[in-house]
Amino acid sequence: MFTAPKLTAAEVAEKIGAQLEGDGSVVLDSVGDLEVATPNQLAVAGGEHYLKRVPQCHAGALIVPVGAPVPEPHPALLRAQDMESAFIDACALFAPPAPELAPGVHPTAVIGEGAELGEGVRIGAYAVVEAGAKVGAGTWLWPHSYVGYEATIGENCVLYPMASVRERCVVGNRVILHNGAVIGSDGFGYRVDRAGVRTKIPQTGIVELGDDVEIGANSTVDRARFGVTSIGKGCKIDNLVQIAHNCVLGDHTVLCAQVGLAGTTTLGSHVICAGQAGLAGHIKVGDWTVVGAQAGVTKDLPPAGMFLGSPAVPRMDFGRQMACINGIPKMRAALKEIAEKLQTMEAAANAFLAAQGEGDEAEK
Amino acid sequence: MFTAPKLTAAEVAEKIGAQLEGDGSVVLDSVGDLEVATPNQLAVAGGEHYLKRVPQCHAGALIVPVGAPVPEPHPALLRAQDMESAFIDACALFAPPAPELAPGVHPTAVIGEGAELGEGVRIGAYAVVEAGAKVGAGTWLWPHSYVGYEATIGENCVLYPMASVRERCVVGNRVILHNGAVIGSDGFGYRVDRAGVRTKIPQTGIVELGDDVEIGANSTVDRARFGVTSIGKGCKIDNLVQIAHNCVLGDHTVLCAQVGLAGTTTLGSHVICAGQAGLAGHIKVGDWTVVGAQAGVTKDLPPAGMFLGSPAVPRMDFGRQMACINGIPKMRAALKEIAEKLQTMEAAANAFLAAQGEGDEAEK
Amino acid sequence: MFTAPKLTAAEVAEKIGAQLEGDGSVVLDSVGDLEVATPNQLAVAGGEHYLKRVPQCHAGALIVPVGAPVPEPHPALLRAQDMESAFIDACALFAPPAPELAPGVHPTAVIGEGAELGEGVRIGAYAVVEAGAKVGAGTWLWPHSYVGYEATIGENCVLYPMASVRERCVVGNRVILHNGAVIGSDGFGYRVDRAGVRTKIPQTGIVELGDDVEIGANSTVDRARFGVTSIGKGCKIDNLVQIAHNCVLGDHTVLCAQVGLAGTTTLGSHVICAGQAGLAGHIKVGDWTVVGAQAGVTKDLPPAGMFLGSPAVPRMDFGRQMACINGIPKMRAALKEIAEKLQTMEAAANAFLAAQGEGDEAEK
């Protein structure tokens, strides 16, 4: 069982390239959140918001930015130029090593006829690699993963338990598929006749995942009706995401958890869709655009914009819509006041005219 | 590895029953989208929108409707009465054959005591069929699929890798379950005591899937609390859909990706729920009704309607709501203008009355 | 194959502790819904809404509350103090027994080096328990389940087919993981450089599930970036739910189907999130608060409240917003009427002033 190493603050500072300030002899064995960290833990205090809480914290040592004033009292400080890097490196110092799949091919793995396994491929218990498939050098297939007929998996990939890639799909290098991810399920395609009865349209295409793509647990990427459902290099797809047939994602695009793209929709590169957003089919989203959480995108979106709401509108407009809706009670009150004032003026005018009429009568 | 056949446009026309127009000798080996197709590819140009782009395309040949004028220049044309059929047939011509599961029962498949396998059943590596289950003739169980105790699977079904059917559930004929689909998980049912602590209510019912049902990747259909969670004939369920315990779906109903139905909700036949729609529990939706993407249905819906928004309202009302919200800034401006005009009129009236008063005084 | 027992209403009454009223000799073999139950079935009629429909029902016997007037005609009655208990017990009487996993460890199960299996553990075909893992007494691992390196599973747990727990995660006692549930997938964490290219941040933490937690089919709980993604005792998580890295759930909290929590969000105890709700990251929700279906929570929520909409607001405010939006057409009509009236008054005033002017002229 893993036991975390014990390192002094001074040792940690040296390993992560931070400048030690204060007593570096305190012994640390883990990382903790600033608010709850204990004296055996290293925490982080980056911005103003966190730095002002330092006097209340109990961490044994803190990673802080170079040059930032730190209120007393504070523990030993590890001053870092790049806070994010420093923290990542610190976590790694105390983290257990990632588990290793045993080298080689487990005796229970089923490798189909003509399947090619590259050098250093590791295959776990009960993994299945169908006939004609190719698995690139250095790739790890964890127990219960599945690689379909004539599918191609690149080098240094990881398929976690229950991840599956169906026939003829092409997976690039250094791709990670998490538990239960499905690559190449049939697209949702049917003919419908006049009686409303549906007949399945064969989905004859494939999925292609570019290098460095990561697909989260239980996410699903459907094969194309014809051609390719294509995910560009470096895309990061979170859990429980749906990517329908014939979608195309540019490089370095990010889909957060439970996002859904309908068929034949194209996202540019560096697009970000926040959690639970939904995009209609046959639309295009420009590069660098951000789609907000739970947004519902029904039309093409230009590049470098931010869109919220359902139906999705530019962020400024969404803000105005919200302000408008929130301002309706005031408008209703103003309307009521105006109606009453109008009534008063009408009555006064009528009274005046009536008096005028009597006056005229009197004068006659 | 599959190599697509090379066919001339003339050969393709003959095979798909289309009328050739122009030089049928061009060699084709795949299907492509009109906008990006290359001279070795066959594309489709159906409506006006697409036909006008024909002069810019580079496809080797085009499927077009009988009688439609096609602007020059254009490649060889394959005139089709039924465009959809023609395209499906063309895709099939160039598609690789679907992968075959090896006939018979893989030596690693575990078949429980008293399980019955019909004629021509094919079972892949590591599939598990529990005791007392029945698998109908011609059904294919792909590697890593699971059929639970005393479950019944009909004829000519397909269970893809990681698909699972739990105990006593009944699956009809020609049903397709995609990777990771779960049939028969427990419904979400608990008693809650005064302290807010929940105790599980046994979910003693089953799921029944009618003939020709298709369930997408990682979708989940819960067994009933008692009785049956029932999916009618020909229903098509996309990926990552949730169907809760005791739901009933009529025939030929369609649930798009990431739709969620809460418990004991009944959909009629030919209902369509678009992506990410959510339906509350214990409600009824009439036949032929369409529920829009991301809609939130909280009440019974009549048949043959279309409902959008959350809470869902008839489409016309949703349009009005949107128009209203978008029209609020104008209303606010109009209100401001009225308030100002009223103020002006009030001031004028007061000035007039004051002048009148002085006049009267003067006259006295 | 299971055959339901045949019991008389009198026998059922005795077994479930209900008071028989009427002819207890009718033979029952199942439970049915009041509206569709047949004479061989037992149904339930609790509140007023159901009791008034009794004369139209065809059930062989009914469970009704003690003291409630039941309209004639009605079948044999089983009067119960605790309706919910009575119904649960009745369902159980007629339900088939839950399937048993064969005792012991299936010969095909792969048990890693140093893995510890407690007394009475049952492990099904093709289940995998990695080296150093611990499985507590009485736990059942169904076929195709997976327990990762050095993971700890408590006593009397159930892992259904395709459920997986990754390395070093800690699962408490009496935890149930449904088909395809994933515990310990990597959190969604990346550094992003100036060119918009993302690099994976190692997710070195774990997941901890408290005693009596139940996780639905295909739900995903990500391991922490560092530290623990923590689910408190008695939490009930439905299907297709996403819980991101470093989330913390208090005891007895409930997440309905397709809910999504973004990273480092903390829910108190006894919180309920209804279906498809989404919660942003780094927020806190107080104890006993209810988040409505499809709500979008973007800020901290206080305890014991109810919040609806996206962005989520207190229920009263959501009601007002809806009323406001629905009231806009009336406001628009009122505004139009006021504008017209104002115009009329303006015209009348001008006419009056003009007449006055002429009169004055005349008088001079």
**pLDDT higher than threshold 80 for residue A154:** yes
Q: Mutual orientation of helices C9-16 and C83-94 as an angle, nearest 10°?
A: 120
Express each pLDDT in B293-315 by its tens digit. Answer: 999 999 999 999 999 999 999 99
Q: Specify the pLDDT at position B332.
A: 85
**pLDDT higher than threshold 80 for residue B358:** no
Mean pLDDT for A346-352 is: 82
C38 close to A (CB below 8 A): no
Mutation target vs C (from B130, B246, B258; most C CBs, 10 A cutoff): B130
**pLDDT higher than threshold 80 for residue C229:** yes
Instruction: Give, for C315, the enclosing helix (H) or strand (E).
Output: helix C315-363
**pLDDT higher than threshold 90 for residue B282:** yes
**pLDDT higher than threshold 90 for residue C173:** yes
d(CA C150, CA C131): 6
Give the pairing type, strands A61-65 and A76-80: parallel
Q: With a CB-CB cutoff of 8 Å, which residues 294-353 of chain C face chain B?
A: 294, 310, 322, 325-326, 328-329, 331-332, 335, 338-339, 342, 345-346, 349, 353
d(CA A353, CA A204): 84
User: Measured between CA atoms, how close is C194 to chain B, in angstroms?
Assistant: 32
Mean pLDDT for C269-277 is: 98
Instruction: List the domains of chain B with CATH numbers.
Output: 7-94 (3.40.1390.10), 104-315 (2.160.10.10)
Mean pLDDT for A289-311 is: 98
Express each pLDDT in C315-350 by its tens digit. Answer: 999 998 888 888 888 888 888 899 898 888 888 888
As given in the structure block, the two tokens for residue C250 are 């208090």
Q: How confident is the model at residue B138 (pLDDT cuts 50, 70, 90)?
A: very high
Q: Which of A74, A144, A178, A245 is catalytic?
A: A245
**pLDDT higher than threshold 80 for residue B361:** no
User: Measured between CA atoms, how close is B273 to chain A, in angstroms?
Assistant: 13
Q: Specify the pLDDT at position C357.
A: 76
Of C124, C143, C180, the CB nearest to B180: C180
Q: Specify the pLDDT at position B363.
A: 62
Q: Specify the pLDDT at position B170.
A: 98
Instruction: List chain C residues with CB under 8 Å of A94.
Output: 204, 226
DSSP per-residue letters across C45-71? --SHHHHTTGGG---SEEEEETT---P
Q: How confident is the model at residue A343 (pLDDT cuts 50, 70, 90)?
A: confident
**pLDDT higher than threshold 70 for residue A177:** yes
**3-class DSSP state for residue C6?**
coil
**pLDDT higher than threshold 60 for residue A158:** yes
Judge whether C55 and C70 are in contact, CB under 8 Å: no
Instruction: Give, for C113, the enclosing helix (H) or strand (E).
Output: none
* Closest to C20 in 3D by CA, of C4, C42, C5: C42
Express each pLDDT in A105-149 by its tens digit. Answer: 999 999 999 999 999 999 999 999 999 999 999 999 999 999 999
Q: Which chains touch B (3 or more CB pairs under 8 A)?
A: A, C
Judge whether A319 and A305 are in contact, CB under 8 Å: no
Q: How confident is the model at residue C304 (pLDDT cuts 50, 70, 90)?
A: very high
**pLDDT higher than threshold 60 for residue C302:** yes
Express each pLDDT in B58-102 by its tens digit. Answer: 999 999 999 999 999 999 999 999 999 999 999 999 999 899 999
Q: Which of C144, C245, C252, C270 is catalytic?
A: C245
Mean pLDDT for C6-24 is: 96
User: Could you tell me how many residues make up chain C?
Assistant: 364
**pLDDT higher than threshold 80 for residue C62:** yes
Q: Specify the pLDDT at position B364.
A: 55
Mutation target vs B (from A111, A130, A237, A328; most B CBs, 10 A cutoff): A130
Q: Specify the pLDDT at position A356.
A: 75
Asked about C58 being catalytic, the answer comes back as no
Instruction: List chain C residues with CB under 8 Å of B328.
Output: 328
Pick the range with the lowest mean pLDDT from B6-10, B40-44, C34-38, C73-77: C34-38
* Closest to A66 in 3D by CA, of A81, A53, A46, A76: A81
φ/ψ (deg, to 5) at B71: -65, 145
Q: Specify the pLDDT at position A316.
A: 92
User: Measured between CA atoms, how close is A197 to chain B, in angstroms?
Assistant: 6
Q: What is the pTM of this model?
A: 0.93
Of B32, B234, B335, the CB nearest to A198: B234
Q: Specify the pLDDT at position C333.
A: 87
Express each pLDDT in B162-218 by its tens digit. Answer: 999 999 999 999 999 999 999 999 999 999 999 999 999 999 999 999 999 999 999
Q: Specify the pLDDT at position C345.
A: 84
Q: Which chains touch C (3 or more CB pairs under 8 A)?
A: A, B
Q: Specify the pLDDT at position A112.
A: 97
Express each pLDDT in A184-235 by its tens digit. Answer: 999 999 999 999 999 999 999 999 999 999 999 999 999 999 999 999 999 9
> Which region, left, alpha or beta, applies to residue A195 given φ > 0 means left and ψ of -120 to 50 means alpha?
alpha
Burial class (CB in 10 A: 0-12, 13-18, 19+), A172: buried
Q: With a CB-CB cutoff of 8 Å, which residues 44-83 of chain A face chain B?
A: none
* Closest to C61 in 3D by CA, of C8, C17, C4: C8
DSSP per-residue letters across A121-173? -EE-TT-EE-TT-EE-TT-EE-TT-EE-TT-EE-TT-EE-TT-EE-TT-EE-T
Q: How confident is the model at residue C150 (pLDDT cuts 50, 70, 90)?
A: very high
How far is the CA of C242 from the CAs of A354, C217, C248, C265, in angstroms? 74, 11, 13, 12
**pLDDT higher than threshold 60 for residue C364:** no
Q: Do C225 and A91 touch (CB under 8 A)?
A: yes
Express each pLDDT in C99-143 by its tens digit. Answer: 999 999 999 999 999 999 999 999 999 999 999 999 999 999 999
Express each pLDDT in C178-219 by its tens digit. Answer: 999 999 999 999 999 999 999 999 999 999 999 999 999 999
Residues 6+ away with beta carbon under 8 Å from C32: B226, B227, C38, C41, C42, C43, C59
Express each pLDDT in A311-334 by its tens digit. Answer: 999 999 999 888 888 888 888 888
Of C146, C188, C296, the CB nearest to A144: C146
Q: How confident is the model at residue A349 (pLDDT cuts 50, 70, 90)?
A: confident
Of A1, A178, A238, the CB nearest to C150: A1
b (16+ CB within 10 A) / e for C340-358? ebbeebeeebeeeeeeeee
Mean pLDDT for A271-275 is: 98
C260 close to B (CB below 8 A): no
Q: How confident is the model at residue B158 (pLDDT cuts 50, 70, 90)?
A: very high
Q: Specify the pLDDT at position A94.
A: 92
Q: Whole-number mean pLDDT of chain B? A: 94
% of chain B with per-residue pLDDT over 90: 83
Q: Specify the pLDDT at position C225.
A: 94
d(CA A293, CA B134): 45
Is the peptide bond between A311 and the residue preceding it cis, with omega within 30 degrees of 0?
Answer: yes
Angle at A361 between CA A357 and CA A362, to 5 degrees: 115
Q: Which of B74, B178, B245, B252 is catalytic?
A: B245
Q: With a CB-CB cutoff of 8 Å, which residues 110-149 of chain A face chain C?
A: 124-126, 143-144
Q: How confident is the model at residue A363 (pLDDT cuts 50, 70, 90)?
A: low
Strand partners, C44: C63
The 3-class secondary structure across chain B, one letter per residue, is CCCCCCEEHHHHHHHHCCEEECCCCCEECEECCCCCCCCCEEEECCCHHHHCCHHHCCCCEEEEECCCCCCCCCCEEEEECCHHHHHHHHHHHHCCCCCCCCCCECCCCEECCCCEECCCCEECCCCEECCCCEECCCCEECCCCEECCCCEECCCCEECCCCEECCCCEECCCCEECCCCEEEECCCCEEECCCCCEEECCCCCEEEECCCCEECCCCEEECCCCCEEEECCCCEECCCCEECCCCEECCCCEECCCCEECCCCEECCCCEECCCCEECCCCEECCCCEECCCCEECCCECCCCEEECCCCEEHHHHHHHHHHHHHHHHHHHHHHHHHHHHHHHHHHHHHHHHHHHHHHHHHC
Pick the range with the lowest mean pLDDT from A149-153, A360-364, B243-247, C192-196: A360-364
**pLDDT higher than threshold 80 for residue A60:** yes
Interface ipTM: 0.92
